[in-house]
Amino acid sequence: MLKLSFLLTLLSSASFGPWHDEAKRSGVAIYPPACTSIECPVFDVLQLGNGYEIRRYNSSVWMSTSSIQDISLVDATRTGFLRLFDYIQGKNSYEEKIEMTAPVITEVSPSDGPFCESSFTVSFYVPKENQANPPPAKGLHVQRWQPTYVAVRQFNGFVTDSNVGEEAAALQASLADTIWAAAIEKSRPDSTTVYTVAQYNSPFEFDNRVNEIWMQFYVEDELLVM
């Protein structure tokens, strides 16, 4: 867990939003264009590193699938997204349509080998106006996140089964020997590497595509009230 005094120092010098000069130069923090037109979860940038960014997300609500077993992240994400798309189109207990948001995220628990099934959970960010009482739906469950800390790496183009592994490995390498790597390691329930793929664009968008690898970690409870 990170110490209070260190994180307070970071917060005091944090850049609250990704549109500052250092972000542009680094190529790490590009504000996803999709978030200028649809709702996205709010975050603060705590640090820009060499090939990574540290963010603090505010409390948020997500609607998630049950675990999907597949050898392909792309196929699992498609399966999960279709369930969530039906949900926002009114296939829920309230028969209520919900506005599209971004990103759609896929949590990845990798398998032990290249031909073994991995576990994937696909989630949709619930708009603020629906967060108090998200419509329930069969096969989906609500996740309520407390303020969450995430190490992030961005990449462009389309997500593929090969490039997500490469990008996750690159994020992990860029965090090596930092306090963030230690925090991530301590936050994992076991030795399995778990990361999340965040996708912001429709599959019909070809320009300005922004994808992200997330690695979450936790801090001491008293930091969550800041």
| 61 within some domain | yes
* Residue 31 forms part of a structural domain: no
Tokens 């049950």 correspond to: 66
How many CB atoms within 10 Å of residue 218?
Answer: 17
Structural domain boundaries enclosing 173:
43-223
In a domain, 18, yes or no: no
pLDDT digit string, tens, across residues 87-123: 999 999 999 999 999 999 999 998 777 678 999 999 9
Helix (H, G, I), strand (E, B) or coil at 165: helix
166's CB contacts (< 8 A; 6+ apart) are none
* Packing angle of the helix pair 73-88, 161-174 (nearest 10 deg): 100
32 contact partners, CB below 8 Å, separation of at least 6: 40, 102, 103, 200, 210
Give the chain's domain count.
Answer: 1
Give per-residue pLDDT as tens, 115-173: 789 999 999 999 999 999 999 999 999 999 999 999 999 999 999 999 999 999 999 99
Structure-block tokens of residue 129: 């106006």
Does any domain span residue 82?
A: yes
Phi, psi (deg, nearest 5) at residue 89: -85, 0
The DSSP 8-state label assigned to residue 50 in this structure reads S
Whether 114 is in a domain gets the answer yes
pLDDT surpassing 90 at residue 190: no
Q: Is the bond preceding 103 in cis, omega lying within 30 degrees of 0? A: yes
**Domain of 73: which CATH number?**
3.20.80.10
Q: What is the mean pLDDT of the chain?
A: 85
The model carries a pTM of 0.84
Radius of gyration of the chain (CA): 17
Antiparallel, parallel or unpaired: β 148-155 and 53-57 = antiparallel
- Residue 189 forms part of a structural domain: yes
Taking a C-beta distance cutoff of 8 angstroms, is the pair 80, 121 a contact?
A: yes
